Amino acid sequence: MKFSLITITYNAAAFVKKTLTSVASQSYQEFEHIVWDGGSTDGTVEIIKSFPHVKLYCGQDSGISDAMNKGAELAQGEFVWHLHADDMLASAHSLQYVSTAIDQYPQSHWFYGKAHIINSKDEQICTTPLEHFSKKRLRRYNFFTHPSTVLSRTLFQKLGGFDLKLKYCMDYDLWLRAAQKTSPILLPVVLACFRQHAGSTSCSGSLNLVNEVYKVRNRYLVHPFERYKSYRTWQKRKKSLII
């Protein structure tokens, strides 16, 4: 099995059907779709059960990072692909695109592509730019989009999964750790749709998010000038939010 798609849910009835449908409609079928539900009470579980391709697991977790790690622990595929319950694969060929790249670059352990940013009505806001990989630039800002990034299960396990202490930018921390071991392959295609809406973690708690990004970035900055620039960026972003 090449892919283990992992979706974590908690009262995700508003969007999860679209997420699951985008996976069920894939032209490439060598995958499993694991859904970890943390105790939904809004009909999410009933929606999930209506999709026969899903492997549903229900249990308790300590938050998003823990839930994603628990889903990954259940994975059997060569590559893990985390797709949140409000995101979608961009086309019926997303898995095929990545599978072809894996076959072309068999020594590579992670791949990333572009993403459409959409709102709660499925309207496209923008498309992420094509950013070639650079360790230095990654230390400045996160140019990966979570649902458009795929890691080998071997690499994910070596990295120890997502940091349980992080609430907002656990994915950025994972990319920074992965970059210390190997470089990813850029795919010039749109792989997923990343949804921004009022209830999403990335759009809520903005000041806390900015503070956590600063904390994570500084784990990997050594040069004094990089640390100074990071501090200036942090202060500017905090000021813009407070004002």
User: Cβ neighbours of residue 233 under 8 Å, at least 6 residues apart?
Assistant: 140, 214
Cα separation, 101 vs 93, in Å, equals 13
Phi, psi of 10 (to 5 degrees): -155, 105
Q: Look up the CATH number of the domain holding residue 64.
A: 3.90.550.10
Q: Which residue(s) pair with 150 in the sheet?
A: 111
Residue 241 to residues 205, 209, 233, Cα–Cα distance (Å): 11, 11, 13
Question: What pLDDT is recorded for position 239?
Answer: 82
Whether residues 187 and 239 share a domain: the answer is: no
DSSP class of residue 221 equals -
Whether residues 173 and 234 share a domain: the answer is: no
Whether residues 131 and 200 share a domain: the answer is: yes
Whether residues 120 and 191 share a domain: the answer is: yes
Whether residues 181 and 232 share a domain: the answer is: no
Question: Helix 224-242 to helix 206-218 angle, to the nearest 10 degrees?
Answer: 180
Long-range contacts of 198-201 (CB under 8 A, 24+ apart): 198/120, 199/14, 199/86, 200/86, 201/64, 201/167, 201/168
Instruction: Please name which of 66, 217, 215 lies closest in space to residue 139, comparing C-alpha atoms.
Output: 217
Regions of the chain short of the pLDDT cut 70: 199-205, 242-243
Whether residues 55 and 147 share a domain: the answer is: yes
Question: What pLDDT is recorded for position 243?
Answer: 55
Whether residues 197 and 227 share a domain: the answer is: no
Give the number of domains in the chain. Answer: 2
Cα separation, 12 vs 86, in Å, equals 7
Whether residues 197 and 217 share a domain: the answer is: no
Cα separation, 150 vs 234, in Å, equals 28
| Residue numbers of the domain that contains 227 | 205-243
- The two tokens of residue 155 are 């690499």
Decide the pairing of beta strands 54-58 and 31-37.
parallel
Whether residues 61 and 71 share a domain: the answer is: yes
User: Cβ neighbours of residue 8 under 8 Å, at least 6 residues apart?
Assistant: 35, 36, 37, 38, 61, 64, 67, 68, 71, 82, 84, 85
Q: Is 63 left (phi over 0), alpha (psi -120 to 50) or beta?
A: left
Whether residues 140 and 235 share a domain: the answer is: no
Whether residues 106 and 221 share a domain: the answer is: no
Is 3:29 a contact under the CB 8 Å cutoff?
A: no
Question: What pLDDT is recorded for position 205?
Answer: 56
Residue positions counted in the chain: 243
Is 166:212 a contact under the CB 8 Å cutoff?
A: yes
Give the tens place of pLDDT for each residue, 153-175: 999 999 999 999 999 999 999 99
Whether residues 210 and 235 share a domain: the answer is: yes
